[in-house]
């Protein structure tokens, strides 16, 4: 593991690290906040997945999570959103595809499949790697994210309910298989057969029988992507009668930015802490 930076914050350590990824076939960067309680005992861990065009740095620099994470004693891991490097395929003029837009799926189509294995990276490789270096209680894991990362968090939780005890999202893409800003990426990554897309679509997973105890979703009503990309009401409709709990909070005047995320970050951390124990 390569140390990129380490800083003390609220008695804990905010670090940025990189490592060689077998899944993504290249160097991957991730950030970790370790609270002071982890000096003496393993602590629960929260995985935060960022949105389109982001890296680990967006939430690390603007998410305002360290004070509450320190108070609650939660480790927070913030992966990158895609593989990087000069040999990694990309679409330079398309912000919804390629670097910064991995959609937390395992691509099956050329040329994307060689590097874009973000589902495997997030669910298998990074947890196995990070838990070797930080005092994580892997029996107490939660996951959350923003936008594309909210989509990733919800689909990963629905597919791995035995691993995660909690899941929440800020302005998630709940049905990416029909959303304007994700359909093109799904077809390029996964091919034209839309049955393969359902594994990475929260609404489709619920309709196909996947279950998770409950979700917390915060959404700004002034979000410019609300009507064509996010549409949380579709997930609200999908979970009716399934036994899946949903707290959907719609907020006047809030948009899609980190001003919105930082406003409700403490709420999400407390919500996860109650479920992680």
Catalytic center residues = 147, 223, 256
Q: Which two tokens stand for residue 46?
A: 């929260």
Q: How far is 79 from 82, CA to CA, in rounded Å?
A: 9
Q: Which two tokens stand for residue 205?
A: 């997973």
Q: Which two tokens stand for residue 247?
A: 């707290």
Please tell me whether residue 14 adopts helix, strand or coil conformation.
strand
Q: What angle do CA 210, 214, 217 make, to 5 degrees?
A: 110
Q: How far is 61 from 172, CA to CA, in rounded Å?
A: 20
Question: What is the phi/psi pair of residue 135, to 5°?
Answer: -80, 80
Please tell me whether residue 35 adopts helix, strand or coil conformation.
coil
Q: How far is 130 from 72, CA to CA, in rounded Å?
A: 20
Query: What sign does the dihedral 205-210-211-212 (CA atoms) show?
Result: negative
Q: What angle do CA 66, 142, 9 make, to 5 degrees?
A: 15
Count of beta carbons in the 10 Å neighbourhood of residue 20: 12
Q: Which two tokens stand for residue 101?
A: 């837009």
Are 83 and 116 in contact by the 8 Å Cβ rule? The answer is yes
Q: Which two tokens stand for residue 110?
A: 């050329």
Question: What is the phi/psi pair of residue 12, to 5°?
Answer: -110, -165
Are 82 and 112 in contact by the 8 Å Cβ rule? The answer is no
């Amino acid at each position: 593991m390569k140390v990129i930076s380490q800083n003390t914050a609220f008695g804990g350590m905010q670090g940025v690290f990189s490592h060689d990824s077998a899944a993504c076939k290249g160097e991957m960067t991730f950030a970790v906040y370790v609270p002071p309680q982890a000096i003496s005992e393993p602590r629960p861990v929260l995985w935060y997945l960022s949105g389109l065009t982001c890296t680990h740095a967006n939430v690390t620099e603007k998410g305002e999570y360290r004070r509450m994470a320190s108070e609650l004693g939660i480790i927070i891991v913030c992966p990158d959103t895609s593989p990087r490097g000069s040999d990694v395929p990309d679409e330079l003029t398309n912000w919804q595809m390629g670097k910064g837009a991995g959609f937390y799926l395992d691509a099956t189509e050329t040329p994307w499949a060689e590097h874009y294995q973000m589902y495997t990276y997030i669910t298998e490789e990074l947890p196995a790697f990070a838990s070797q270096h930080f005092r994580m209680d892997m029996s107490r894991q939660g996951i959350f994210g923003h936008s594309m990362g909210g989509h990733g968090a919800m689909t990963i939780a629905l597919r791995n309910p035995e691993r995660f005890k909690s899941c929440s999202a800020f302005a998630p893409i709940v049905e990416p298989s029909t959303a304007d800003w994700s359909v093109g990426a799904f077809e390029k990554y996964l091919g034209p057969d839309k049955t393969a897309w359902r594994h990475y679509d929260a609404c489709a997973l619920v309709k196909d029988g996947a279950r998770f105890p409950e979700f917390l979703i915060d959404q700004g009503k002034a979000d410019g992507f609300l009507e064509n990309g996010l549409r949380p009401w579709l997930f609200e409709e999908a979970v009716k009668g399934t036994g899946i709990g949903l707290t959907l909070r719609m907020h006047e005047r809030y948009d899609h930015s980190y001003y919105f995320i930082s406003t409700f970050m403490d709420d999400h951390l407390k919500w996860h802490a109650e479920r992680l124990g």
